[in-house]
């Protein structure tokens, strides 16, 4: 077997010996393993795993199923298994902490690219960009010596208030699935394991460590599970993280139904299930409930972990069958072998030009233009003489916030910096904060003065990663703009009607009366290290916005399903998802509640016309039973990107269904005047609902409408199709 050379870097810190570097491996040229099958990289994965397993002692197997520091599990030098490093997270490779605390390790080689938040990635509706994103994560993780990256998160936006909405791909299971599948494939193509998290129903941070979630089987199958299922079955994700909460009375980390029955038996998941950090509650429950790797439990030494000495003793006494431990060890080994941890990986790369370009492109396509009256945007750089930039988020660094998704970045271009780079040589740019951590009259007055003296205002506000906004462990308390921004915006637009509003934030915000008066509003999410450049390019028209909302913006919190039904954050320790399937646009459309900005919505600097829809049988060998074909034409004067969306309406459902469900989309780029034919495959699954009585997906004969829209509420074309046969799929 060919062996890559290993780097050994050791540093003494006090008395402790700390390993450093991306390719830290313990010595492993042992006579008995030379020539062993598992060392032969030409052998199939399963054969290598079985061979390795057959050589392991009980203690070694136990070492595989629990941590030996905050983010590692132990090396097994005798067999040449290096220490296994895990790392957050979804938006880049987190700075190192520990070994036994959450405190930063204080290293100087743990910087990483800071990518746009996943909610923004989803708003690109561009699956190629999910691939580009995953490649950055994978390459940087490899360079940093990480075997498992703890992401992507794929919990569904059930409430606008969830403090981690920014980390997740929004409210729709189909869009989420498409994005996470490409992300995961790209990470894993770099010999790094992804981790699909948090399985499942960790849809609020409030009480996340205790709350019990109750939902019906259809909501589980149709809304909350699809992204995980796609991660497992389409992307072959190598690990899954269980959620903190309980599901139907049992902790997610020891939930036989979720972990053993659904994930492993039904879906055929062969990877490992790890706990969330300190989300393990008992030895019996975890061992029997399907957990394979215990991380983050708040005890020391590590032998006291639930799946350490107590598990070993249980196997020795015959309380737990050996086969159970073997199964868990096998799942861990599978990830270890699949990520080439034994033979060693080639070095990765960090913050390359390509990574920066990917971050920029994703940020550009994630920007959603919510309002643009009388073509207020794009701005003409030759005509703007003075700009008053106002708002804390014009200068606020976002990378080191939000919780486990934080990044120690090399750089972050703020909006103010981006604007200065773009037009600083020809326009006078002033900056005023406008508000601080609370409403501040003096700051507001200064900002209003600056606004009245400039040609135009670029306001950059919204939310941030401070606790009670977009941050882990707590939710937002309401959907309003904090720090008196509504009042400030009313005053600014009064002082200068040319007020362009840009919001940061991981989800929807209520917007005050000022909305009717300002000419333009942009939703920027958290656009990452290239955010300021991307934003300036979009405001000045170098880039034509093509992002579409990955979540509905309701007019007010009470309009949104969980809140309308008073089912958040739960009563007596339980939250009941009584809205069932009606999450996001499924609720607003079915209940006819007018949103502020609908799901799938986003403006462009050009206009697109749709025509000639036909739905016909797919050609043999194509990946659909039917295919929707239609033309999209750019009828404006600028090049631009559009996202045609395909929704299916069941005209006479046997069981109640939302009025429409997203089942396909495409992102097309068109030059001015150009027309393209777009095809979107339609499968049996596009028509199916989950039939709890049969425990199967039912595509039932009957009539359906195929709706093609520029958003969920801007349907441009439609056609009827009839299914003549009923089919059931597992
Ligand atoms: C979060 C996980 C994260 C883990 C490790 C937990 O608090 O819920 O998403 O991966 O910490 O940092």
Ligand 1, atom 3, lies closest to the CA of 404
| 69 Cα: distance to centroid of ligand 1 (angstroms) | 14
Any atom of ligand 1 within 6 Å of the Cβ of 642: no
Any atom of ligand 1 within 6 Å of the Cβ of 199: no
| 157 Cα: distance to centroid of ligand 1 (angstroms) | 18
pLDDT in tens, 591-631: 999 999 999 999 999 999 999 999 999 887 676 799 999 99
Nearest atom in ligand 1 to 296's CA:
5
Nearest atom in ligand 1 to 88's CA:
10
User: Ligand 1: which of 71, 87, 88, 104 to mutate, judged by most atoms within 8 Å of the beta carbon?
Assistant: 88
Q: How confident is the model at residue 27 (pLDDT cuts 50, 70, 90)?
A: very low
| 104 Cα: distance to centroid of ligand 1 (angstroms) | 15
DSSP H/E element including 415: helix 415-423
Tell me how crowded residue 32 is: count the other CB atoms within 10 A of its CB: 9
What percentage of the chain reaches a pLDDT higher than 70? Answer: 95
* Residue-by-residue DSSP string for 104-122: B---SS--B--PPPHHHHH
Any atom of ligand 1 within 6 Å of the Cβ of 110: no
Top pLDDT among 7 and 492 is at 492
Inform me whether the pLDDT recorded for 24 exceeds 70.
no
Any atom of ligand 1 within 6 Å of the Cβ of 526: no
Length of the chain: 730
| 241 Cα: distance to centroid of ligand 1 (angstroms) | 9
Ligand 1, atom 2, lies closest to the CA of 276
User: Ligand 1: which of 203, 277, 402, 405 to mutate, judged by most atoms within 8 Å of the beta carbon?
Assistant: 277
What is the spatial distance between Cα 466 and Cα 163, in angstroms, rounded to a whole number? 10
Any atom of ligand 1 within 6 Å of the Cβ of 404: yes
Any atom of ligand 1 within 6 Å of the Cβ of 150: yes
Nearest to 535 by CA among 351, 355, 710, 369: 369
Asked whether the bond before 198 is cis by omega within 30 degrees of 0, the reply is yes
What is the spatial distance between Cα 129 and Cα 122, in angstroms, rounded to a whole number? 9
| 579 Cα: distance to centroid of ligand 1 (angstroms) | 28
**Annotated catalytic residue 542:** no
| 119 Cα: distance to centroid of ligand 1 (angstroms) | 18
Bridge partner residues of 722 (DSSP) = 703
Any atom of ligand 1 within 6 Å of the Cβ of 277: yes
Q: Identify the pLDDT of residue 623.
A: 67
| 403 Cα: distance to centroid of ligand 1 (angstroms) | 8
DSSP H/E element including 195: strand 193-199
* φ/ψ (deg, to 5) at 290: 110, 5
Q: Identify the pLDDT of residue 658.
A: 98
Within 268-385, strands assigned E span 272-274, 368-372
Q: Is 513 exposed, middle or buried (0-12, 13-18, 19+ CB in 10 A)?
A: exposed
**Average of per-residue pLDDT across 551-560:** 98
Any atom of ligand 1 within 6 Å of the Cβ of 536: no
* Distances, alpha carbon 221 to alpha carbons 93, 474, 652, 654, 697, in Å: 31, 27, 21, 17, 9
Any atom of ligand 1 within 6 Å of the Cβ of 205: no
Q: Identify the pLDDT of residue 624.
A: 72
CB 205 within 8 A of CB 475: yes
Inform me whether the pLDDT recorded for 13 exceeds 70.
no
**Average of per-residue pLDDT across 566-573:** 97
* Distances, alpha carbon 463 to alpha carbons 409, 430, 485, 525, 717, in Å: 20, 22, 10, 9, 37
**Average of per-residue pLDDT across 221-229:** 99
What is the spatial distance between Cα 119 and Cα 318, in angstroms, rounded to a whole number? 47
Ligand 1, atom 7, lies closest to the CA of 277
**Average of per-residue pLDDT across 679-687:** 96
Any atom of ligand 1 within 6 Å of the Cβ of 518: no
Any atom of ligand 1 within 6 Å of the Cβ of 276: yes
Catalytic residue selected from 96, 276, 470, 486: 276
**Average of per-residue pLDDT across 284-298:** 98
Give 458's contacts (C-beta < 8 A, 6+ positions apart). 387, 388, 389, 390, 394, 415, 419, 500, 502, 539
User: Ligand 1: which of 204, 205, 472 to mutate, judged by most atoms within 8 Å of the beta carbon?
Assistant: 472
What predicted TM-score, i.e. pTM, was given to this entire model? 0.95
**Average of per-residue pLDDT across 137-158:** 98
What is the spatial distance between Cα 196 and Cα 371, in angstroms, rounded to a whole number? 35
Bridge partner residues of 553 (DSSP) = 597
Top pLDDT among 169 and 25 is at 169
Inform me whether the pLDDT recorded for 9 exceeds 50.
no
pLDDT in tens, 347-370: 999 999 999 999 999 999 999 999
Q: Identify the pLDDT of residue 643.
A: 99
Give 13's contacts (C-beta < 8 A, 6+ positions apart). none
* φ/ψ (deg, to 5) at 522: -125, 135
**Average of per-residue pLDDT across 16-43:** 59
* Distances, alpha carbon 457 to alpha carbons 429, 480, 604, in Å: 10, 22, 21
* Distances, alpha carbon 209 to alpha carbons 167, 474, 573, 574, 708, in Å: 18, 11, 10, 12, 41
| 89 Cα: distance to centroid of ligand 1 (angstroms) | 8
Any atom of ligand 1 within 6 Å of the Cβ of 88: yes
| 166 Cα: distance to centroid of ligand 1 (angstroms) | 14
**Average of per-residue pLDDT across 466-473:** 96
pLDDT in tens, 58-81: 999 999 999 999 999 999 999 999
pLDDT in tens, 295-338: 999 999 999 999 999 999 999 999 999 999 999 999 999 999 99
Ligand 1, atom 12, lies closest to the CA of 404
Give 374's contacts (C-beta < 8 A, 6+ positions apart). 519
What percentage of the chain reaches a pLDDT higher than 90? Answer: 93
Sorted by where each starts, the structural domains of the chain and their CATH numbers stand as 366-396+419-527+538-591 (3.40.50.1700), 608-729 (2.60.40.10)
């Amino acid at each position: 077997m060919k062996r890559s050379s290993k780097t050994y870097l050791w540093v003494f810190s006090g008395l402790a010996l700390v390993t450093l570097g991306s390719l830290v491996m313990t010595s492993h040229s042992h006579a008995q393993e030379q020539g062993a099958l598992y060392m032969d990289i030409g052998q199939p994965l399963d054969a290598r795993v079985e061979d390795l397993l057959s050589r392991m002692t009980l203690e070694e197997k136990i070492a595989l199923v629990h941590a030996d520091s905050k983010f590692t599990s132990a090396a097994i030098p005798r067999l040449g298994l290096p220490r296994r490093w895990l790392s957050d997270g979804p938006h880049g490779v987190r700075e190192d902490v520990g070994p036994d605390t959450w405190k930063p390790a204080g290293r100087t080689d743990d910087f990483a690219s800071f990518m746009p938040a996943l909610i923004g990635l989803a708003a690109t509706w561009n699956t190629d960009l999910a691939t580009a994103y995953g490649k950055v994560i994978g390459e940087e993780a490899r360079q940093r010596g990480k075997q498992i990256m703890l992401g992507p998160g794929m919990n569904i936006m059930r409430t606008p208030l969830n403090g981690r909405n920014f980390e997740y791909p929004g409210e729709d299971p189909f869009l989420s699935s498409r994005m996470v599948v490409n992300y995961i494939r790209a990470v894993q193509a770099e010999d790094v394991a992804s981790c699909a998290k948090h399985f499942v129903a960790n849809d609020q941070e409030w009480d996340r460590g205790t709350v019990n979630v109750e939902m019906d089987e259809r909501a589980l199958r149709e809304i909350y599970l699809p992204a995980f299922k796609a991660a497992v079955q389409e992307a072959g994700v190598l690990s899954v993280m269980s959620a903190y909460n309980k599901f139907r009375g049992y902790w997610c980390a020891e939930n036989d139904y979720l972990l053993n029955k659904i994930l492993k038996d039904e879906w055929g998941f062969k990877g490992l299930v790890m706990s969330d950090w300190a989300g393990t509650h008992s030895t019996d429950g975890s061992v029997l409930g399907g957990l394979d790797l215990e991380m983050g439990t708040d005890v020391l030494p590590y032998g006291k972990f639930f799946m350490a000495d107590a598990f070993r003793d249980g196997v020795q006494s015959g309380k737990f069958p050996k086969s159970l431990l073997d199964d868990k060890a096998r799942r861990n080994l599978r990830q270890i072998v699949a990520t080439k941890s034994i033979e060693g990986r080639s070095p990765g790369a960090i913050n390359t030009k390509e990574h920066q370009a990917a971050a920029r492109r994703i940020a550009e396509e994630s920007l959603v233009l919510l309002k643009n009256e009388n073509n207020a945007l794009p701005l003409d750089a030759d005509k703007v003489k003075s700009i008053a930039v106002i708002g804390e988020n014009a200068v606020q660094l976002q990378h080191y916030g939000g919780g486990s998704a934080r990044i120690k970045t090399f750089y972050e271009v703020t909006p103010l910096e981006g604007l200065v780079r773009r037009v600083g040589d020809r326009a006078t740019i002033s900056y005023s904060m406008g508000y601080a951590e609370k409403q501040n009259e003096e700051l507001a007055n200064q900002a209003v003065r600056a606004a009245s003296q400039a040609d135009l205002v670029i306001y950059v506000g919204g939310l941030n990663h401070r606790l009670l906004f977009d941050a882990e462990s707590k939710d937002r308390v309401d959907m309003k703009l904090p720090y008196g921004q509504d009042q400030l915006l009313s005053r600014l637009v009064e002082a200068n009607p040319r007020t362009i509003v840009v919001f940061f934030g991981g989800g929807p915000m209520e917007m005050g009366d000022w909305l009717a008066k300002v000419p333009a509003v942009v939703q920027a999410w958290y656009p990452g290290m290239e955010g300021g450049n991307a934003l300036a390019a979009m405001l000045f028209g170098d880039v034509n916005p093509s992002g579409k909302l990955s979540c509905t913006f309701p007019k007010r919190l009470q309009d949104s399903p969980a809140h309308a039904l008073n089912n958040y954050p739960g009563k007596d320790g339980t939250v009941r998802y009584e809205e069932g399937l009606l999450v996001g646009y499924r609720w607003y459309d079915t209940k006819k509640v007018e949103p502020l900005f609908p799901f799938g919505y986003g403006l462009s600097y050009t206009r697109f016309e749709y025509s000639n829809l036909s739905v016909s049988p797919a050609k043999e060998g194509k990946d659909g039973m039917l295919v929707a074909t239609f033309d999209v034409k750019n009828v404006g004067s600028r090049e631009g990107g559009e996202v045609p969306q395909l929704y299916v309406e069941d005209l006479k459902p046997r069981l109640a269904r939302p009025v429409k469900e997203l089942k396909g989309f495409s992102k097309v780029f068109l030059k001015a005047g150009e027309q393209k034919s777009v095809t979107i495959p339609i499968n049996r699954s596009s028509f199916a609902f989950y039939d709890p009585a049969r425990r199967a997906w039912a595509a039932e004969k009957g009539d359906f409408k195929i709706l093609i829209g520029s958003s969920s509420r801007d349907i441009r074309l439609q056609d009827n199709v009839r299914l003549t046969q009923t089919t059931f799929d597992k």
